[in-house]
């Protein structure tokens, strides 16, 4: 046979791939119970095989010591170190704490598998506090007495509508000097002295216009306080039926306060109460006349003023407002306007206390996320950072030293633009100093006194290294931990492969990851499945070493490997419309969530197929995703049927008018208009081609489960065939215990094997 060029080889490879697709990728071994079971058990098999991997460290309040969770034989332990002593010590008696926590919760916890990743010392080191299942707990270390110490507070649905069925905490709020107490009774504010004698009260509060006791904020010098008076919004409740409760035979009805796009929100009116004059003054609302939310209310340390953040309905305007404590005059320190959206998911501001006071805040006004500063009059002083890179997190502002500590990504052009690095800059914008520079992603925890920092750096192909460094110049003081993955590698682990291709504009780099089977054979071709999440609130392709379930998202990551091991190439991509790049990159999502970055994703897949002969997209690819990813999965089958042909959609917000108010108004705007219907896959369900499996938890509290059933109804009316799995009691994560989660994942695996590989899967109902 004569020699062929590389191009000819690829053409022949594609022809062979297409032929294999027609006969169901017959070169791939048919799966059996054992191989599918092995994939389902991958997390449990791999989790114990990493040593000395440090999870997020925590500094003590004095900054002299720190503690962290570290992988050891059989699980994890918490260790403690000090700046002076490099020898790590166990942070507490793990057996005792596991026993105490198990006794009070009724759950079985083991010493090497405690259910939290971080804690704080309390009671002078005699106790620890941590969060477990959205509650705050405290355990005494010597007695292992554990209790829930969550402070009672009236909940607020998505931060914009208070739950008036739940009583607010109306206990007195004492002034800093201990001379006065403020309390709300019968919807009005009462001001009392230390003995409980009435000094002043309001008389304009009632059920439709009430004072919120949880909003009371005293001035540091006790001369005044501020709180809000509330006009309540729409009390929309979603009703769900728990069909198979664990404690009784009959179903239960569950209601959840759940405002949706377009609903009326609580309108908060800030009120200044001056003790000297015993007056309550409404702050004139000309600068905040159309609120979506008023929050982050805080006093200046000298009690001269207070500030709050105002987000206008529609998310196209945000203001930081300063109110003078003497005359109640309001000034806009910052006004952020955007023709698309002001991204409140990445917002930051901090009022300054010294000198000209004013505020430091994060803005995308020049097309990238950068830091700016104003004085107390609202006059812009200067842009502090600039360039084609973005500030990601502000870790600290030290006004005495005149310095800001922050992380940023995209600073080094030769690196992945999502890698975060640590920087310091002066408050006047001078002396930008990079304190990390390795070609890796950096997680940084700064000490309270800003003299030291702990950095954990990694890549998907570089296990975590944790170091203690000096803040002044970044000098290395001590290597704290270096993850050992030798056992993991021996068990078959291979890192995923980053891949970059140009997006729809032909110029912008689109980044993604390729996950291959552990038994990958470069001479074979593999069908491709995309794990999609295109929510505009973040970026999602992993940049640090794969967590394998160590923290949120880990199970999804290892699920990609488990699926790949059944004979697939599994990928994840950050297309345009996701966050953490330029403002223009992000704006693609504005009022067009159904776009989901598909023009970029398809080009990325095509570039990968051009590059790798084993990457087969002939005949279409598979796709799966949850929540917004579920919506994108269905959109792929509806609007790109020639490319995406098999999809598994979990817990989708299939029509954004049915989903929560906060996320959807941020990206689709207000008022609710035709842009909402245009992004609805329910409206276009009749366009379905290919194979679709819909999976939803019956008790999803994040996305109204009725959204799924409305899609089902539309598909039935259009006489479309599809598969549906409803998990009784399942939450947004679908399963409520290990059994359903395993079952749900197996159903996904089966679906792709049957429809993308044309394989016959095991008869799971047949007795073994």
Query: What are the sequence ranges of the domains in the chain?
Result: 6-47+487-755, 51-150, 384-484
The mean pLDDT of 738-752, rounded to a whole number, is 89
The mean pLDDT of 750-758, rounded to a whole number, is 97
Whole-angstrom distance, CA of residue 548 vs CA of residue 55? 12
The tokens describing 164, both together, are 């008036």
- Please give the model's pTM, rounded to 2 decimal places: 0.94
Say if residue 7's pLDDT is above 90. Answer: no
Average pLDDT, the chain: 93
Say if residue 208's pLDDT is above 70. Answer: yes
pLDDT tens-digit map of 15-59? 444 444 444 344 567 788 999 999 999 988 888 899 999 998 999
Say if residue 723's pLDDT is above 70. Answer: yes
What phi, psi does 665 have (nearest 5°)?
A: -70, -25
- Is residue 620 a contact partner of residue 755, using CB atoms and an 8 Å limit? no
Say if residue 215's pLDDT is above 70. Answer: yes
- Of the given ranges (20-24, 246-250, 647-651, 682-686), which has the lowest mean pLDDT? 20-24
The CATH class that applies to domain 6-47+487-755 reads alpha beta
- Is residue 370 a contact partner of residue 363, using CB atoms and an 8 Å limit? yes
The mean pLDDT of 418-432, rounded to a whole number, is 98
Say if residue 563's pLDDT is above 60. Answer: yes
**pLDDT at residue 47, rounded to an integer:** 84
The mean pLDDT of 145-163, rounded to a whole number, is 92
Whether domain 384-484 has CATH 3.20.20.150: the reply is no
Q: Which of 478, 680, 530 has its CA nearest to residue 592? A: 680
**pLDDT at residue 407, rounded to an integer:** 98
- Of the given ranges (28-37, 232-241, 297-306, 363-372), which has the lowest mean pLDDT? 28-37
Q: Are strands 723-727 and 180-185 parallel, antiparallel or unpaired?
A: unpaired
DSSP state of 11: H
Query: Please, which residues have CB within 8 angstroms of residue 310's CB and are 6 or more apart in sequence?
Result: 287, 288, 291, 293, 294, 318, 319, 320, 321
Residue 314, exposed/middle/buried by CB under 10 A (0-12, 13-18, 19+)? middle
DSSP state of 28: S
**pLDDT at residue 392, rounded to an integer:** 98
Residue 281, exposed/middle/buried by CB under 10 A (0-12, 13-18, 19+)? middle
Count CA atoms closer than 13 A to 546's CA, side-chain side: 24
pLDDT tens-digit map of 274-295? 999 999 999 999 999 999 999 9
- Is residue 242 a contact partner of residue 254, using CB atoms and an 8 Å limit? yes
Say if residue 10's pLDDT is above 50. Answer: no
**pLDDT at residue 56, rounded to an integer:** 87
**pLDDT at residue 48, rounded to an integer:** 87
**pLDDT at residue 105, rounded to an integer:** 94
**pLDDT at residue 277, rounded to an integer:** 94
Helices (H), 157-291: none
* Alpha-carbon separation of residue 411 from 414, 425, 453, 469 (angstroms): 9, 14, 20, 21
- Is residue 695 a contact partner of residue 748, using CB atoms and an 8 Å limit? yes
The mean pLDDT of 64-87, rounded to a whole number, is 95
Q: Tell me what percent of the residues of the chain surpass a pLDDT of 90.
A: 89
Count CA atoms closer than 13 A to 18's CA, side-chain side: 7
Whole-angstrom distance, CA of residue 536 vs CA of residue 667? 7
Q: Pick the more confident residue, 740 or 316.
A: 316
Length of the chain counted residue by residue? 768
Question: Is residue 735 very low, low, confident or very high in pLDDT (cuts 50, 70, 90)?
Answer: low
98 cis-preceded (ω within 30 degrees of 0): no
Q: Which of 46, 74, 41 has its CA nearest to residue 546? A: 46
DSSP letters of 362-422?
Answer: EE-TTSS-EEEEE-TT--EEEE---SSSEEEEEEEEETTTTEEEEEEES-STTS-TT-EEE
Interior/surface letters 234-259, b for 16+ CB within 10 angstroms, e for the rest: bbeebebebeeeeeeeeeeeeeebbb
Q: Which of 644, 448, 394 has its CA nearest to residue 532? A: 644
**pLDDT at residue 168, rounded to an integer:** 84
């Amino acid at each position: 046979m004569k020699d062929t060029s590389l191009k000819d080889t690829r053409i022949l490879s594609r022809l062979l791939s297409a032929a294999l697709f027609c006969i169901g990728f017959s070169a791939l071994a048919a799966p059996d119970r054992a191989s599918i079971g092995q994939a389902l058990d991958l997390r449990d098999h791999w989790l114990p095989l990493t040593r000395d991997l440090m999870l997020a460290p925590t500094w003590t309040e004095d900054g002299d010591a720190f503690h962290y969770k570290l992988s050891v034989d059989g699980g994890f332990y918490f260790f403690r170190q000090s700046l002076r002593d490099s020898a790590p010590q166990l942070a507490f008696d793990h057996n005792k704490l596991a026993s105490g926590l198990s006794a009070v919760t009724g759950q079985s916890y083991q010493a090497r598998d405690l259910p939290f990743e971080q804690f704080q010392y309390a009671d002078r080191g005699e106790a620890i506090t941590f969060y477990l299942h959205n509650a705050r707990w405290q355990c005494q270390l010597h007695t292992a007495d554990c209790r829930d110490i969550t402070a009672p507070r009236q909940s607020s649905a998505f931060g914009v509508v208070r739950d008036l069925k739940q009583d607010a905490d109306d206990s007195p709020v004492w002034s800093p000097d201990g001379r006065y107490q403020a309390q709300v009774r019968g919807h009005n504010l009462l001001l009392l002295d230390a003995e409980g004698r009435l000094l002043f009260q309001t008389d304009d509060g009632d059920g439709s216009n009430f004072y919120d006791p949880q909003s009371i904020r005293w001035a540091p010098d006790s001369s005044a306080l501020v709180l809000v008076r509330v006009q309540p919004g729409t009390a929309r409740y979603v009703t769900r039926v728990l069909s198979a409760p664990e404690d009784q035979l009959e179903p239960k009805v569950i209601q959840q306060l759940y405002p949706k796009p377009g609903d009326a929100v609580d309108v908060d009116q800030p009120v200044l109460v001056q003790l000297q004059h015993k007056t309550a003054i409404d702050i004139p609302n000309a600068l905040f006349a159309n609120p979506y939310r008023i929050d982050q209310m805080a006093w200046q340390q000298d009690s001269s003023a207070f500030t709050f953040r105002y987000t206008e309905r529609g998310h196209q305007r945000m203001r930081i407002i300063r109110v003078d404590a003497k005359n109640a005059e309001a000034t806009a320190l910052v006004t952020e306007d955007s023709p698309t959206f002001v991204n409140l998911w990445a917002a930051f501001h901090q009022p300054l206390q010294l000198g000209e006071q004013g505020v430091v805040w994060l803005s995308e006004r020049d097309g990238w996320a950068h830091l700016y500063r104003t004085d107390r009059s609202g006059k812009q002083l200067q842009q502090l950072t600039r360039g084609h890179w973005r500030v990601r997190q502000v870790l600290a502002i030290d006004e005495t030293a005149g310095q800001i500590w922050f992380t940023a990504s995209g600073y080094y052009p030769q690196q992945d633009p999502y890698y975060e690095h640590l920087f310091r800059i002066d408050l006047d914008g001078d002396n930008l100093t990079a304190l990390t520079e390795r070609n890796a992603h950096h997680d940084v925890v700064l000490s309270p006194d800003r003299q030291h920092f702990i950095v954990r750096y990694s890549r998907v192909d570089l296990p975590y290294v944790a170091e203690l460094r000096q803040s002044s110049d970044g000098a290395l003081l001590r290597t704290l931990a270096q993850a050992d993955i030798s056992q993991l590698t021996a068990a078959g682990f291979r890192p995923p492969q980053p891949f970059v291709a140009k997006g729809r504009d032909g110029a912008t780099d689109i980044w993604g990851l390729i996950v291959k089977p552990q038994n990958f054979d470069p001479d074979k071709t593999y069908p491709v499945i995309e794990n999609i999440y295109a929510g505009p609130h973040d970026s999602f392709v992993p940049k640090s070493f794969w967590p394998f379930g160590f923290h949120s998202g880990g199970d999804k990551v290892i699920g990609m490997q488990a699926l790949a091991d059944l004979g697939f190439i599994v990928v994840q991509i950050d297309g345009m419309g996701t966050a953490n790049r330029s403002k223009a990159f992000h704006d693609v999502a504005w009022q067009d969530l159904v776009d989901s970055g598909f023009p970029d994703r398809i080009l990325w897949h095509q570039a990968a197929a051009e590059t790798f002969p084993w990457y087969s997209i002939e005949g279409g690819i598979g796709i799966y995703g949850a929540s917004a990813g579920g919506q994108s999965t269905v959109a792929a089958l509806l609007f790109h049927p020639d490319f995406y042909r098999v999809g598994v959609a979990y817990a989708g917000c299939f029509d954004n008018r049915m989903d929560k108010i906060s996320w959807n108004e941020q990206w689709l705007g207000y008022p609710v208009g035709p842009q909402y219907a245009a992004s609805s896959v329910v409206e276009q369900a009749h366009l379905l081609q290919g194979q679709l499996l819909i999976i939803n938890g019956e008790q999803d509290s994040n996305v109204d489960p009725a959204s799924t059933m409305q899609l089902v109804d539309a598909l039935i009316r259009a006489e479309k065939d599809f598969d549906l799995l409803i998990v009784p009691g399942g939450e947004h994560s679908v399963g409520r215990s290990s059994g359903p989660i395993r079952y749900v994942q197996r159903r996904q695996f089966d679906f792709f094997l049957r429809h993308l590989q044309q394989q016959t899967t095991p008869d799971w109902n047949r007795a073994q």
